[in-house]
């Protein structure tokens, strides 16, 4: 069917929908639209717009991939195993180093590089961009699969 | 034989679908916030106040999709029908005052064209020879059976039904069950119980096949839809590697496929599967729920469509719900297989057998299809269905809609992709007095929501023309004509219906 995200009976769609046809392009377009919206706000200069894009993207990334657990539809098929897993941990059924995971790992890095360039490597912007990038990259490391520091977000 | 066609969606459409889901999700979160803060009334189940410190019973995030997306298009589903579902039927109207959380009947009904019922040969009738014979059987045997097949529920009419089914399909013997879903889910465990077995199942198999496969303690591998190379690859891997951890040979391998896939309208490439099965020594389980009666020159199903010997398929399964206007299912094959199932199936042991008037309906409709009642009404129905399917599908493709599946299948899925469009399409068609079935997630993949039309021999060409005009009109208003293929002027309507007209003149 040309769609890597075919959800056959009894499989968690959260694990496969990011492999579907056209999703990466949609992701890039969504970030571009966000950036254009921020650029059009009159009192922000270019550097602030880029940093804001980076920060908003990373916060959204963190919330949807690493904070929210479970699935927005009932998981009758796996007896609640995916209730305790964040979306990142559910992708591709927990298999590491798949192409989707690499794409989602690279997106904040590329945004960071672009933001650093357009803010002319200003120290304050650098610190903000770097810290949000680390916030969103560290949970994606395979060593942190299923790890809940200090029990935050465990249940 | 026609090829299946699955045109991939244009990228803009895919992006807009995801954008639609994103916007719906954001609004869902907003509405949930309103519900939590008390601005909006909460209709779903919530915890009681004094159970606050216990482990929560309801995961509110898990019902997010149901609360915020499913509820809003709920009025398009579960429509109550109050007449026989033939080519036209009566739908009871419903209204809602609180956004589809509570629907109430108004008491009025609306007569609509039926494009959703599985009524392929038009046997969903309450008049005519089948209905009369079923009424006679009701007088003779009563409505219930009150026992299982193995105890006192084995009536003469059941044996006649099984003998007729076996003759219809061209195999040695058949066994029938009262429920089509249960035929799959209760009999696959009887065939594949025991360790060391492997099931290869198509990724788009029906839930009954998935459930039946899960109820055995076998290893299940899923292969890509209708993809012979993938099946061959997985078969070779399985045979070469043997069972996991023990590396011993598999005791048996079963390939489970369907004749026509109900969500896609695609037809299985049966000769390739038979060639594969013979080469590697696997067994083939063919679920002909939608294809028996609907495909083939004389309605014998997908084996006749491809010109394959039905004895090559080890286990042929089908249902009586779709083409025969009854209920229940059958499994047909060699005498040894059927005797085993008669003894070991969960259905024959624990489930009550088919009701007598329903069995009689199947017998009469099968006799009509086979021509044993002395007329050519059966042939007429088969040709009418084939002509209707071809005509309808070609007109839709000409109009520029995105249609999946095989040209010869009576199931025509029309892709709409964006979730709000399925609700809009269903409601607009309801206003035009056409009843359609729309499906979204979880019955289809997340982004391939569709409307699924089921053609019937009971539809006349005038009905279809009127429906097609309505579909084209609604499609223009909702911008559903996504297909980028240049409109192909295929066979004309006169050619589609030529066989039907010649048969009618002979009758």
CB burial string A26-58: b at 16+ within 10 A, e below: bbebbbeeebeebeeeeeeeeeebbbbbbbbbb
How does pLDDT run across A107-146, given as a tens digit for each residue? 999 999 999 999 999 999 999 999 999 999 999 999 999 8
Ordered alpha helix ranges (H), B200-334: 207-215, 228-241, 270-280, 302-306
What is residue B141's predicted lDDT score, i.e. its pLDDT?
A: 94
Inside any domain, residue A4: no
Cα(B102)–Cα(B23) distance, integer angstroms:
25
Of residues B168, B86, B82, the one with CA closest to residue B131: B86
Look at A7 and B22 and tell me if their CB atoms are within 8 Å. Answer: no
Backbone angles phi, psi at B111, to 5 degrees: -85, 120
Look at B62 and A10 and tell me if their CB atoms are within 8 Å. Answer: no
Residues of B in contact with A2 (CB under 8 A): 6, 8
Radius of gyration of the CA atoms of chain A, in A: 17
Look at B19 and A30 and tell me if their CB atoms are within 8 Å. Answer: yes
Candidates B14, B188, B262, partner chain A, best to mutate (most A CBs within 10 A): B14
What is residue A72's predicted lDDT score, i.e. its pLDDT?
A: 86
Q: Give the nearest partner residue to B205 out of A9, A70, A73, using CB atoms.
A: A9
Asked if A56 and A33 count as a contact pair (C-beta separation under 8 A), the reply is: no
Look at A22 and B18 and tell me if their CB atoms are within 8 Å. Answer: yes
The secondary structure of B392-450 as a DSSP string is: HHHHHHHHT--B-EETT-SEEEEE--SHHHHHHHHHHHHHTTEE-EEE-TTTS-TT--E
Cα(B393)–Cα(B486) distance, integer angstroms:
15
Q: Give the nearest partner residue to A23 out of B18, B62, B205, using CB atoms.
A: B18
Per DSSP, B73 falls in state G
Look at A7 and B205 and tell me if their CB atoms are within 8 Å. Answer: no
Q: Give the nearest partner residue to A74 out of B11, B25, B62, using CB atoms.
A: B62
Per-residue pLDDT of chain B (507 residues; tens, 9 = 90+): 677 778 888 888 888 998 999 999 999 999 999 988 888 888 877 778 888 888 777 777 888 888 888 999 999 999 999 999 999 999 999 999 988 999 999 999 999 999 999 999 999 999 999 999 999 999 999 999 999 999 999 999 999 999 999 999 999 999 999 999 999 999 999 999 888 899 999 988 998 999 999 898 899 999 999 899 999 999 999 999 988 888 889 999 999 999 999 888 899 999 999 999 999 999 999 999 999 999 999 999 999 999 999 999 999 999 999 999 999 999 999 999 999 999 999 999 999 999 999 999 999 999 999 999 888 899 999 999 999 999 999 999 989 899 998 888 999 999 999 999 999 999 999 999 999 999 988 788 878 899 999 999 999 999 999 999 999 999 999 999 888 876 666 667 777 788 788 877 765
Cα(B351)–Cα(B347) distance, integer angstroms:
5
Inside any domain, residue A59: yes
Candidates A3, A5, A6, A9, partner chain B, best to mutate (most B CBs within 10 A): A9
Inside any domain, residue A11: no
Q: Which two tokens stand for residue B204?
A: 């788009």
Q: Which two tokens stand for residue B413?
A: 């899925």
What is residue B490's predicted lDDT score, i.e. its pLDDT?
A: 65
Inside any domain, residue A110: yes
Q: B449 to each of A18, B13, B27, B413, B480, how far by Cα in Å?
A: 17, 12, 20, 9, 12
How does pLDDT run across B59-71, given as a tens digit for each residue? 778 888 888 889 9
Q: Which two tokens stand for residue B26?
A: 């954001």
Candidates B264, B440, B448, partner chain A, best to mutate (most A CBs within 10 A): B448
What residues 94-123 of chain A have any CB closer than 8 A to a CB of chain B? Answer: none
Inside any domain, residue A90: yes
Per this entry, what is the length of chain A? 155
Closest residue in A to B443 (Cα–Cα): A9
Cα(A115)–Cα(A109) distance, integer angstroms:
10
- 3-state helix/strand/coil string of chain A: CCCCCCCCCCCCHHHHHHHCCCHHHHHHHHHHHHHHHHHCCCCCCHHHHHHHHHHHHHHHHHHHHHHCECCCCCCCCCCCHHHHCEHHHHHHHHCCCCHHHHHHHHHHHHHHHHHHHHCCCCHHHHHHHHHHHHHHHHHHCHHHCCCCHHHCCCC
Look at A1 and B64 and tell me if their CB atoms are within 8 Å. Answer: no
What is residue A23's predicted lDDT score, i.e. its pLDDT?
A: 86
What's the structural domain count of chain A? 1
How does pLDDT run across B352-390, given as a tens digit for each residue? 999 999 999 999 999 999 999 888 899 999 999 999 999
In this complex, is the C-beta atom of A71 within 8 Å of any C-beta atom belonging to chain B?
yes
Structure-token match 């657990």, residue found: A69
In this complex, is the C-beta atom of A42 within 8 Å of any C-beta atom belonging to chain B?
no
Look at B15 and A83 and tell me if their CB atoms are within 8 Å. Answer: no
Cα(A39)–Cα(B340) distance, integer angstroms:
73
Closest residue in B to A20 (Cα–Cα): B447
Closest residue in A to B28 (Cα–Cα): A72
In this complex, is the C-beta atom of A8 within 8 Å of any C-beta atom belonging to chain B?
yes
With vertex at residue A104, the alpha carbon angle to CA A102 and CA A105, rounded to the nearest 5 degrees, is 60
* Furthest C-alpha separation in chain B: 77
**What residue numbers bound the domain in which A91 lies?**
16-144
Cα(B287)–Cα(A24) distance, integer angstroms:
37
Look at A73 and B65 and tell me if their CB atoms are within 8 Å. Answer: yes
In this complex, is the C-beta atom of A76 within 8 Å of any C-beta atom belonging to chain B?
no
Look at B448 and A1 and tell me if their CB atoms are within 8 Å. Answer: yes
Inside any domain, residue A3: no
Asked if B418 and B402 count as a contact pair (C-beta separation under 8 A), the reply is: no
In this complex, is the C-beta atom of A5 within 8 Å of any C-beta atom belonging to chain B?
yes
Look at B18 and A21 and tell me if their CB atoms are within 8 Å. Answer: no
Q: Which two tokens stand for residue B135?
A: 């009424």
Cα(B180)–Cα(B193) distance, integer angstroms:
20
Closest residue in A to B61 (Cα–Cα): A72
What is residue B1's predicted lDDT score, i.e. its pLDDT?
A: 67
Q: B445 to each of A112, B228, B424, how far by Cα in Å?
A: 34, 22, 19
What is residue B440's predicted lDDT score, i.e. its pLDDT?
A: 87
Residues of B in contact with A29 (CB under 8 A): 15
Cα(B507)–Cα(B498) distance, integer angstroms:
15
What is residue B489's predicted lDDT score, i.e. its pLDDT?
A: 65
Structure-token match 């120290």, residue found: A123
Of residues B270, B325, B328, B277, the one with CA closest to residue B301: B270
Ordered alpha helix ranges (H), B223-376: 228-241, 270-280, 302-306, 335-344, 346-350, 356-370
Closest residue in B to A14 (Cα–Cα): B446
ipTM: 0.86
On the CB side of B235, CA atoms within 13 Å amount to 24
Radius of gyration of the CA atoms of chain B, in A: 24
- Tell whether the model's pLDDT for residue A1 goes beyond 60: no
Of residues A31, A30, A11, A35, the one with CA closest to residue A93: A11
Per DSSP, B111 falls in state E
What is residue B60's predicted lDDT score, i.e. its pLDDT?
A: 78
How does pLDDT run across B446-458, given as a tens digit for each residue? 788 999 999 999 9
Q: Which two tokens stand for residue B489?
A: 């002027």
Inside any domain, residue A103: yes
Structure confidence at residue A2 as a pLDDT band (50, 70, 90):
very low
Residues of B in contact with A3 (CB under 8 A): 8, 445, 447-448
Structure confidence at residue A7 as a pLDDT band (50, 70, 90):
low
Residues of A in contact with B215 (CB under 8 A): none
Structure-token match 């078969």, residue found: B235
Q: Which two tokens stand for residue B270?
A: 């049966």
* B102, burial (CB in 10 Å: exposed 0-12, middle 13-18, buried 19+): exposed
Closest residue in A to B6 (Cα–Cα): A1
Asked if B301 and B169 count as a contact pair (C-beta separation under 8 A), the reply is: yes
CA distance, residue A117 to nearest chain B CA (Å): 29
Per DSSP, B230 falls in state H
Look at A3 and B448 and tell me if their CB atoms are within 8 Å. Answer: yes
Inside any domain, residue A150: no
What is residue A27's predicted lDDT score, i.e. its pLDDT?
A: 92
Coil, helix or strand at residue B490:
coil
Cα(B435)–Cα(B449) distance, integer angstroms:
17
What is residue A6's predicted lDDT score, i.e. its pLDDT?
A: 57
């Amino acid at each position: 069917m040309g769609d890597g995200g075919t959800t056959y009976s009894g499989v968690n769609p959260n694990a496969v929908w990011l492999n579907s046809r056209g999703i990466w392009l949609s992701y890039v377009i969504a970030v571009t639209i966000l950036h254009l919206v921020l650029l059009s706000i009159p009192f922000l200069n270019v550097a602030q717009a880029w940093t804001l894009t980076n920060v908003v993207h990373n916060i959204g990334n963190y919330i949807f991939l690493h904070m929210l657990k479970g699935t927005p539809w009932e998981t009758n098929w796996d007896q609640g195993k995916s209730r305790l897993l964040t979306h990142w941990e559910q992708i591709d059924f927990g298999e590491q180093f798949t192409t989707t995971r690499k794409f989602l790992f690279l997106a904040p890095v590329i945004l960071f590089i672009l933001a650093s360039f357009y803010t002319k490597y200003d120290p304050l912007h650098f610190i903000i961009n770097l810290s949000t990038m680390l916030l969103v990259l560290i949970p994606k490391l395979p060593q942190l699969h299923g790890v809940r520091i200090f029990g935050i977000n465990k249940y | 034989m026609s090829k299946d066609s699955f045109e991939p969606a244009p990228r803009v459409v895919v992006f807009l679908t995801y954008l639609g889901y994103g916007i719906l999700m954001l609004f869902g979160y907003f509405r949930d916030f309103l519900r939590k803060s008390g601005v909006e009334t909460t209709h779903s189940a919530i915890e009681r106040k004094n159970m606050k410190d216990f482990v929560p019973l309801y995961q509110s995030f898990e019902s997010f999709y149901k609360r915020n997306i499913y509820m809003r298009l709920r009025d398009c589903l579960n429509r109550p029908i109050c007449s026989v579902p033939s080519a036209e039927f009566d739908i009871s109207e419903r209204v809602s005052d609180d956004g589809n959380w509570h629907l109430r009947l108004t008491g009025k009904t609306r007569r609509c064209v039926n494009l959703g019922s599985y009524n392929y040969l038009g046997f969903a009738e309450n008049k005519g020879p089948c209905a009369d014979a079923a009424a006679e059987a009701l007088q003779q045997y009563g409505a219930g059976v009150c026992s299982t097949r193995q105890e006192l529920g084995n009536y003469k009419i059941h044996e006649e039904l099984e003998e007729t089914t076996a003759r219809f399909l061209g195999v040695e013997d058949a066994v029938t069950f009262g429920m089509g879903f249960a035929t799959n889910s209760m009999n696959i465990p009887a065939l594949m119980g025991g360790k060391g077995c492997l099931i290869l199942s198509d990724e788009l198999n029906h839930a009954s096949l998935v459930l039946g496969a899960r109820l055995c303690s076998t290893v299940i591998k899923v292969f890509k839809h209708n993809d012979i190379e993938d099946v061959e690859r997985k078969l070779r891997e399985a045979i070469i590697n043997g069972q996991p951890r023990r590396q011993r040979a598999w005791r048996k391998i079963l390939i489970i496929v369907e004749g026509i896939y109900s969500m896609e309208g695609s037809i299985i490439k049966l000769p390739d599967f038979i060639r594969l099965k013979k080469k590697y020594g696997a067994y083939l389980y063919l679920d002909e729920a939608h294809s028996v009666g609907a495909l083939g020159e004389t309605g014998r199903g997908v084996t006749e469509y491809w010109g394959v010997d039905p004895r090559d398929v080890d286990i042929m399964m089908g249902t009586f719900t779709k083409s025969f206007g009854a209920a229940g299912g059958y499994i047909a094959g060699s005498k040894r297989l059927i005797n085993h199932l008669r003894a070991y199936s969960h259905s024959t042991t624990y489930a009550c057998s088919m009701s007598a008037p329903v069995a009689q309906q199947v017998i009469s409709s099968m006799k009509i299809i086979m021509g044993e009642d002395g007329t050519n009404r059966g042939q007429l129905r088969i040709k009418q269905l084939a002509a209707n399917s071809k005509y309808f599908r070609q007109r839709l493709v000409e109009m520029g809609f995105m249609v999946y599946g095989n040209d010869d299948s009576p199931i025509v899925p029309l892709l709409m992709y964006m979730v709000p469009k399925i609700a809009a399409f269903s409601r607009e068609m309801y206003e035009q007095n056409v009843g359609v079935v729309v499906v979204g997630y979880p019955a289809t993949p997340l982004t391939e929501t569709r409307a699924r039309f089921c053609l019937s021999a009971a539809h006349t060409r005038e009905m279809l023309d009127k429906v097609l005009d309505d579909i084209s009109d609604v499609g223009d208003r909702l911008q559903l004509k996504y297909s980028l293929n240049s409109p192909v002027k295929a066979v004309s309507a006169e050619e589609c219906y030529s066989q039907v007209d010649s048969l009618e003149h002979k009758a």
